[in-house]
Chains A and B, each alone.
Chain A
Amino acid sequence: MKLTINNVSKKYSNKVLGLNKFSLELEPGILGLLGPNGAGKTTLMNILATITRPTEGQVLWNGVDIVKKPDELRRVLGYLPQSFGVYPNLSAQEFLEYMAAVKGLDSRSARRRIDELLQLVNLTEARKRPLGGYSGGMRQRVGIAQALLNDPQLLIVDEPTVGLDPEERVRFRDLIADLSGERIVILSTHIVSDVEATATRIVISNHGRKVADTSPENFLRMVDGKVWEWLIPSTELTHVKKQHLTSGALRRPDGVQLRVIADASPATDARRVTPTFEDAYLKLVSNGQAA
């Protein structure tokens, strides 16, 4: 299975360019798509989910153009949008039954699948309660369950952990990692730690363009030897922040321990430290250049 995104652009009616000549080739694994707000992530997700069409370029699913034949992809697509609603009078069971019918599952498969998915997201006990009374986290779980109904080969999850508490976030990441197997998973987010924990490949977008496409290891190598920490008096914090790309500042009784990304040592007492995804991401996004 293969998803090819070929020079895709999206211009909105108000002339805003949501995506600019974006290309990518995907095979099974978890792709972490990172980027700040307005980077074009949701536009790309909407195009891949066949909800909107690109203004230019092609998206091919196993060689088939999904603009011309969107149902080829829709049959094997699972999509958890960034924001979505549910019908408040339906229970989780009824909502999933409805979505199974919309996705074209036969009754027997749908019943078994819904049972398994409710168990997977631990909503079996609450399956008969109206969705109107569910918390945000529970609704998100219903969302992931509906995305998995048709055993998708392409699973797109757009900002899935927004609104989840830290524990739920960890569980959700584990779930995504477990689900990857023989499918393509696209995890779009601006929360770096989500990608760090799960992705086998990382793509960074900014201003609608792809600025990096790499493995997690190479992603970290981009800033290897370029991350520094040292202690400064708190009165100098504003001044130093203006001079260097800062990725962290930790208050201590004797001042502020600053973490910056720089090619050369920013101060005589600065020491090199092990880079994190956050450092690499910041460096890329602030440069806006391909690495």
Chain B
Amino acid sequence: MNTLRWIYHMMLADLRERVRTPKFLVIIGLAMLAGYAYIPATDSATLSIALGPWRGVNNSAWVGTVFGMLTVLIMPILGYFLVKNAIELDRRTNVGRVIATTPISKPVYVLGKWLSNLATLTMILFILNIMALVMQLVRAEVTQVDLWALSAPIWLMGFPIFALIAAIAVLFESISFLSGTFGNILFFIGWVLFLEFIGLPGLFEFNVGVIQPHNDLLGVSLPLASLQAIGNQLFPEFVGHFNFGGANYGMAPQIVDWQGVDWTLAYMLDRLSWLALAIGLTLSAALPFDRFDPALASASKADSPLKRFFRRKQSVVEPAFLHTKVDLTPLAEQVSSSRFGRLLIAELKLMFKGKRWWWYGVAAFISLLGFAGPPDGRAVTAQLAVLWPVIAWSAMGTREEQFDTTKLLFSAVDPIKSQLLATWLSGVLLGLIATLGVSLRMVIEGQAGFILAFWVAALFIPSLALGLGSVSGSPRLFEAVYLIWWFLGVNGVKPMDFMQGSWDAVSLLWVSIYLLLAMIFFSLALAGRWRRLVK
């Protein structure tokens, strides 16, 4: 009984803590925005679920299914970034050390954290459900509301996925090398690969024929089969390109009175079975979880086996605080005129410090590939070049908060302009260095125009990192937004493609828009820092 009580209170405390953070509001805002965008205006030619030039009338079944798809295809990424801090919070606040002294076992702790994550994600399901209702009434094609038809797809499809995401977040947090940005990128790539090859094969391809999930973890097979059957009947020539969000066939879509599907008992039981996997995954997190043992944490996080080997030979004796009289030489001048240059170099050193050899290795390989690789793959290489450094960019603007150095830095000279500018510029330089290989190749091949897009991307990405970091105080919001942005760009959503890899020629309009966005996000960072200084 005590265990249940403890889990309940932990869940409640975590939920309260999370819903009171700006990050939660931002993610809820994004969810609502996505919900709004996925039920376009009734006269719009844009389709949210596209299996040919038709759509369902905006009744409860159709709106609920669109929201259900949104829940399982897009929201898991945002959800993961929202909840992947449950153990970290206990670690940072030292509450974990107190918990470690109680009889709570590792399996119970990770299970409690899973339930906390799930409770937070369930809040998102509620909000999406309400948003679905609102959108049906706003679009008002069918005003009669069938609550079951509206809500069932969201909950039946979404809840098991969220349970799994909650478990993955706990598991990743428990494994030292997956607990940071590297794990986040891995999750993102893993999720995309899962969608492409297992969950919804053909999602990112054209003319794939019938779309049939190899494994129905997403729970989309039932509604998808019904929708494909209608598509085949109405447009037999359509060969199965599934687009979720933003397809436009250049004609007014045919509107079909789709009444949804019968959510069978077998389907529901199948969905329930995924909860068992989620619980299993959560319990497996108990094995690598260090239970806040600082010795285990520092050994696994900071040291490679090679380092540990050499460390044994070093003296680990703590030098005593022998207060010896030392005459401190007075400084000739208090502040040097070349301060900014030194500050920039210091920021760059800080940005690169702690990165492992393989990080540099992969970066060098991408750069080399950009310079000497096949021309066909150049666009992809350019995109990879701005994906790999995300681990360094994501620390920008939040490093002070993460490592509690804010007071030291804010009491030094010019904490707003010089310090922030130096941090930003170090991020810009990182972007330029990362794309150096592909840029040089472009110059050699006389395609220098694209370098302009790269330069603007190098301005835009660190601005986004600083801006979102200052709003949320955590790197995860930037990681979530940037990875989704990058992914949509790579997949040909042209406005999101800041590297312009999918464009035939450089669009100066979009270069200008991204320049403007860079300025906006940098201003946001300036405002955030200023606000913290004066509050």
Contacts and interface: CB of A to CB of B under 8 A. Distances in A.
**Are A and B bound to each other?**
yes
B350 A122 contact: no
Given A135-B318, A171-B321, A178-B325, A101 B331 contact: no
A266 B533 CA distance: 51
B318 to A, nearest CB: 6
A167 B321 contact: yes
Interface in B321-354: 321-336, 338-339, 342-343, 345-346, 349-350, 353-354
Given A101-B345, A175-B323, A109 B331 contact: yes
A159 interface: no
Interface string A81-116: 101111111100010011101111111010011001
Contacts, number: 160
Contacts of A103: 335, 412-413
Contact of A102 (B346, B349, B407): B346
B357 to A, nearest CB: 14
B302 A117 contact: no
B408 A87 contact: no
A113 B404 contact: no
Given A13-B535, A112-B329, A132-B298, A102 B343 contact: yes
A168 B321 CA distance: 6
B405 A87 contact: yes
B410 interface: yes
B404 A85 contact: yes
A132 to B, nearest CB: 5
Contact of B324 (A46, A122, A146): A122
A122 B346 CA distance: 24
A171 B2 CA distance: 47
Interface stretch (A71-79, A229-237, A257-265, A269-277): A71-79
Contacts of A88: 302, 354, 403
B221 interface: no
Contacts of B333: 106, 109
Contacts of A120: 323-324, 326, 328
A52 B534 contact: yes
A125 interface: yes
Given A89-B354, A116-B329, A84 B324 contact: no
Interface string A234-258: 0000000000000000000000000
A151 interface: yes
A281 interface: no
Interface in B412-430: 412-414, 419
A51 B533 contact: yes
A59 B413 CA distance: 17
Given A125-B315, A167-B321, A49 B407 contact: yes
B335 A75 contact: yes
B417 to A, nearest CB: 10
Contact of B331 (A51, A90, A105, A174): A105
B320 interface: yes
Candidate in B331, B349, B406, B413 with the most chain A CB atoms within 10 angstroms: B413
B414 A71 contact: yes
21 contacts: A46-B407, A49-B410, A52-B534, A86-B405, A89-B353, A89-B354, A90-B350, A101-B339, A102-B343, A102-B346, A102-B408, A104-B339, A105-B335, A107-B342, A122-B319, A123-B319, A138-B318, A151-B331, A151-B334, A171-B321, A172-B321
Given A88-B354, A106-B342, A125-B319, 14 more contacts: A52-B534, A75-B413, A83-B404, A84-B408, A87-B403, A87-B405, A102-B408, A104-B342, A109-B331, A109-B332, A109-B336, A120-B323, A126-B318, A167-B321
Interface of B: 298, 302, 314-316, 318-336, 338-339, 342-343, 345-346, 349-350, 353-354, 399, 403-414, 419, 533-535
Top 8 A-B pairs, shortest CB-CB distance: A85-B404, A89-B354, A106-B336, A101-B346, A104-B335, A81-B407, A104-B339, A49-B411
